[in-house]
Structure 1
Amino acid sequence: MAVRAMETLVGGEWIGADGGVDVYDPADVREPFARVPALTAKQVTEVYRAAAEGYATWRATSPIERCRVLARAAVLLRERADEIAGAIHAENGKTPAEARGEAEKTADFFEYYAAVGRQEYGSLIADARPDTRAGFQREPLGVVLAITPWNDPLITPARKLAPALAAGNAVVLKPATETPVSGLLLARALHDAGLPAGVINVVTGRTAEISDALLDDPRIAAATFTGGNAVGEALRVRFAERGVRFQAELGGKNASVVLAGADLPRAAAAIAAAAFGQAGQRCTATSRALVDRTVHDDFLALLRAEVAGSRPGPLVSPAHRDGVLRHIAVAVEQGARAERTDLETPPYGCHVAPTILTGVTPEMDVWREEVFGPVLVVRPVDGLDEAIAAVNDTRYGLAAAIFTDSLSAAHRFVDAADCGQIAVNTTTSGWDVHQPFGGFRDSGSAFKEQGAEALRFYTKVKTFAIHFG
C-alpha cells in the first residue's frame, strides 16, 4: 500500500519536512497509510511568527469579508466530504457513516459562524456624565493555540477554529499525533477559501520534541484544549503562570437514567447508540445506565438485543485498545460481570467488542474512571432521588440524560443533575453547533464552546466613553 505523503500549512505555504510521523489505520496497524511532517522546535517558532503576522492582517480585515471566507470554506468542506470522510475513517476508525456525519457537520460550524460574525459585537450602555455616550465592543485576542484530540479529528478543530476565526484571531492548530490528516484537510479548505497567509497554521510532529516551543511562545494569547484531565490540568497551570487565557473540555462519566414508566425500547435504543457509537470514544458517550429496579430486567433484555446488532469500528490505537481491555479486566476482578457481544474482528485491528458490565458498585474503579471505549455499566436504582445522587457521584459533570414519562421528574432532573449538558428522552451525545457545549467540575473550564457563548472565550471586551458636548 502506498503511503500518502502530506504537507502542513505554515504562513500560507505548504511545506514538507525531513523525516515524518506515520499515521496508521486502526483497523489494520501493520503498515502506515499516511505520513505527515515532523516539524522541529525551530520551525514551530517560525509558525508563531507567521501567525502573529497573519493576525495583524486578519484583525484588520472587515468582519463581512471574514465571514465570506468562512462561508466559502463551508462550501468546500461539503464538496470534499467524500475525501475528508475517507480520511477520518482511515485514521480514526470510525465507520463510513460516522465519518461522513462528522465531515458534514463540520461544515455546519463554518456556516453558523459565518452568519454570527455579521451580528453585533458590542453595545451602547448608559453613562452618568452629560453629553457622553458609552459602550463596549468585543475585539479578538491575537494568536490562539488549539490542541485537539483524536476522537473527533475534524469536528473538534472546527468547533474551535470557526469561532476563533470569526472573531478575528489567528490560530495555530496542533492536531492529535494519531489523527493529523483530517486537520490538514480542514486547513486546506480554509486556505483554498481565501484565508490570508498565517491566519491558520498546522503543527504536526512528535510532541516530546516540540512541546516547549509549542506551549511557551510569548505570542500565545489564548489556548484551547480538548483531551484528558491530567494533560489539561498541567496545561492550565502552565498557561496560568503567564496569564494566557485557557479553555478546556476534558473527561466525563456520563449517566443516563431510566425511570419506571419510560418508553423502554426507545431508552434502550438511545442508550445503546450513546454508549457504543464511535466505539464509545466520545466525551459525551453514556458510560453508566441507572435503571429503576422495577424495570431493570426488562430494560437490560432490550439493551442486549440492541447491542447484539451493533458493529462499532476499531479503537484508535493498540495502546488505547489495551487500556480499555484493562478497565474491563479490573472491573471483573473487582466483582463485576461482563457481557461481551460476539464480534468478528480483523486480526491486525484495534477492535473491542461492545461490553455491558453489571454487578458494579460505587467502590469499583469502573464506576468512577473514564473508560472511553464501548463499555457500559448498568446498575439498578430505587427512584429518582437515588438516581440523581448516582448521576452526581463523580468528579465529572459533562452530560446526563433521563428517560421518563413524568414532566415533574424531567424538570427536577434538569435542575438537580450537576452537568453542563442535560437530555430528556434522548441521548447524552449529539449537540448542535448553535447550542452551548461544555461541562462542570472536572469536565472542563468555565468557558463554553459552540453557539454565541464560544465568542466570549475568543474575544476581549473594551469599554469606551465619548464626550461630545
Structure 2
Amino acid sequence: MTVTSYNPADPTDLVLSVDAAGAAGTRAAVERARAAQPGWYAAGAAARAAAPGRAADAVEAAAEELAALAVREVGKPLAEALAEAARAVAILRYYAQAPYAPVGAVHDTAAGPGLLLTRRRPHGVAGLVTPWNFPLAIPVWKAAPALATGNTAVLKPAPEATACALRLAELLALPEGVLTVVPGGAEEGAALIDAADVVSFTGSTAVGQRVVAATAARGIPAQAELGGLNAAIVLPDADVEQAADHLAAAVAGYAGQKCTATGQVIAVGAAYEPLREALAKRLAAADRGPVIGEAALDRLTGAVGSARDAGATVLTGGGRTPGPGWGFEPALLADVPADHPLRTEEYFGPIAVLLPAADLDEAIALANAGRHTLAASVHTHDLDTALAAADRLAAGMIRVNAPTTGVDFHLPFGGTGSAGYGGREQGSAALEFYTASRTVTLLPGA
C-alpha cells in the first residue's frame, strides 16, 4: 500500500507518496521501541529533559518551513500554521521540565517501623494515533509527555498529514527507537493498538470506540479524544458584536476543522435577532479555506441540503466555493429539526445551527443534550451568570466571552460523554496518564 497526501487547495498537487509500514512493519517498530525503552528511561532525568529542549530549538528554527508544509498538506491558513508551530515549541519546552518533577511520595506505615513509597513508572511503548487537522501540535502534545516520563513512542499519523509527521520526527532527532513514525492507515493503526503498552488516540467517535474496546480487551490504558459538537450560549446582556466575532472565528476558523469548533449557537431571549444578523454577516465574509477533501465537502453540502429539505432555513453559505480546491461556504442554519444529524453529530466543517432559548435554563439544557460535550462558551457581562453556567454545563472545557476554540497546553484537555475517554491530555494530567503508580513497602529485617 502507498500512502499519499494531496494539497486540499489544489488536489492535483501531490505532497507525499510513501510506502505504508504495514502491520508487520508496525509491529517491528514497536519491538524496536520496546528494546530502546529501558535505556531511554535509565538515561535519567537530565537526558530526558535535554532532548525536548534541543527539539524545541530545532522546531523553532524550522517554524516557517513547518508552517508552509502544513499549509500545503492540510490546508491550514498560514497564520494558524505559524501559531501551531510556535505552540509545538512551547509544549516541548514545557515538558522539558517534567523529568525533574516528583514521581511519588513517602508515607508512614499504619503501625510499627518501616516506610511506604509510591512511585510512578512508565508503561513502556506508547502508541500514538493522531489526526490531520493539527499535524504538528497534536503529535507533540502526545509524544512529549510520553517521552519525558520514560516511555518510547510509535506515532501513526493520519495519512493526510504524513509529510508533517515525518519532518517533525526528523527535527526532534531522538535516539534510534525512541520515536518512530509509521505511515499508514487503518491496518497500521490496528497493529499499533494491538502491540503498544499504552495508547493515545485522537480521531472520529466510531473509530475511537473501537480503539477503547480493543485496549480494554488487552487491559492497557487508553485515552481517546473523539471530537465535539460544541455549543456557544449568548445571553441578552452580551456584547453581540464581540460575540459574533468570536463565534464566526470558532465556526469558520480553519474551515471548522477543529474538535473545539462551535457547531451550535444558542441565543437567549432578545439576543436572537441581533445575533442572527451579525453572525450571518460575519460568516458570509469569513475566510473560505478548503476542507480536507472531496468526501468532507460532499458530506457538508449534503447536510445542508437534507436540513433544507427538512424545513431548515439557510441563513448564509452552505455551497461549494469556486476554484480548484475543496472550498465550502461557511454556513449558518436556523429552524433545524431536533432529530437532524446537524443537531446530534459533529460534521467537522464550517457549519453551525442557530437555536433560540427562552432563558439560561433552556440554553443549558440544549447545550448539555448532545453526547459530544467537549467545549462550550458563554457570552455575558454578568459574572454570576457566567459562574452559574460554568457550574452547570457538562462540557470538559468552558470558556467565558471567548470562542470555544483555543486550548491552554498546560491545562487538562478533554471532554465528557462521547467526546472523550480515559485520562486527560496535556499539562500534568498527561504525565499521570503515561505512567502507572506503584506502592513499595519497606520494613525492617528480622
Match of 2:180 among 197, 201, 204: 201
Number of residue-to-residue matches in the alignment: 445
2:23 paired with 1:41: yes
Q: Residues 282-301 of structure 1: matches in 2 within 5 Å?
A: 282-301=258-277
Give the whole-Å Cα distance in 2 for the aligned partners of 1:359 and 1:345: 24
- Which residue of 1 is the match for residue 103 of structure 2? 121
- Which residue of 1 is the match for residue 316 of structure 2? 340
Between the aligned residues of both structures, percent identity stands at 37
Match of 1:237 among 194, 207, 213: 213
Which deviations, in whole Å up to 9, do the C-alpha atoms of 1:223-275 show, x marking residues without a partner?
A: 11001111011111112111121110002110000001111111111111111
Q: CA deviation at 1:343?
A: 9.0
Q: Residues 138-287 of structure 1: matches in 2 within 5 Å?
A: 138-191=120-173, 195-208=174-187, 210=188, 212-217=190-195, 220-287=196-263
Per mean C-alpha deviation after superposition, the further-off stretch among 31-40 and 377-386 is 31-40
2:310 paired with 1:329: no
Which deviations, in whole Å up to 9, do the C-alpha atoms of 1:390-414 show, x marking residues without a partner?
A: 0011112111111012222111111
SS of match in other structure, 1:153: coil
Give the whole-Å Cα distance in 2 for the aligned partners of 1:205 and 1:407: 49
2:3 paired with 1:21: yes
Q: Which letter does structure 1 place at the counterpart of 2:194?
A: D
Give the whole-Å Cα distance in 1 for the aligned partners of 2:226 and 2:169: 24
SS of match in other structure, 1:452: helix
Q: CA deviation at 1:165?
A: 0.7
Match of 1:459 among 432, 435, 439: 435
Which deviations, in whole Å up to 9, do the C-alpha atoms of 1:197-226 show, x marking residues without a partner?
A: 101011103434x45533323xx2111100
Which deviations, in whole Å up to 9, do the C-alpha atoms of 1:392-447 show, x marking residues without a partner?
A: 11112111111012222111111110110011111111111101110011111131
Match of 1:318 among 283, 294, 297: 294
Q: Is the 8 A contact 2:301 2:318 kept in 1?
A: no
Give the whole-Å Cα distance in 1 for the aligned partners of 2:191 and 2:361: 50
Give the whole-Å Cα distance in 2 for the aligned partners of 1:385 and 1:392: 11
Name the Cα RMSD after superposition: 1.7
Q: Residues 386-397 of structure 1: matches in 2 within 5 Å?
A: 386-397=362-373
2:390 paired with 1:437: no
Q: Is the 8 A contact 1:140 1:169 kept in 2?
A: yes
SS of match in other structure, 2:15: strand
Which deviations, in whole Å up to 9, do the C-alpha atoms of 1:83-120 show, x marking residues without a partner?
A: 11111111110111111111111111111111232211
Q: CA deviation at 1:283?
A: 0.4
SS of match in other structure, 1:117: helix
Q: Is the 8 A contact 1:440 1:446 kept in 2?
A: no
Q: CA deviation at 1:190?
A: 1.5
TM-score by length of 2: 0.96
Q: Is the 8 A contact 1:398 1:443 kept in 2?
A: yes
Q: Is the 8 A contact 1:57 1:196 kept in 2?
A: no
Which deviations, in whole Å up to 9, do the C-alpha atoms of 1:65-97 show, x marking residues without a partner?
A: 101111111111111001111111111101111
Q: Is the 8 A contact 1:274 1:285 kept in 2?
A: yes
- Which residue of 1 is the match for residue 345 of structure 2? 369
Q: Do the aligned partners of residues 126 and 330 (structure 1) sit closer, same or farther apart at CA in structure 2, a change above 3 Å counting? A: farther
Q: CA deviation at 1:308?
A: 3.1
Give the whole-Å Cα distance in 2 for the aligned partners of 1:256 and 1:70: 37
TM-score by length of 1: 0.91
2:38 paired with 1:56: yes
Per mean C-alpha deviation after superposition, the further-off stretch among 401-410 and 254-263 is 401-410
Q: CA deviation at 1:125?
A: 2.0
Which deviations, in whole Å up to 9, do the C-alpha atoms of 1:122-164 show, x marking residues without a partner?
A: 1112322333121211110000110001111111111100110
Per mean C-alpha deviation after superposition, the further-off stretch among 127-136 and 109-118 is 127-136
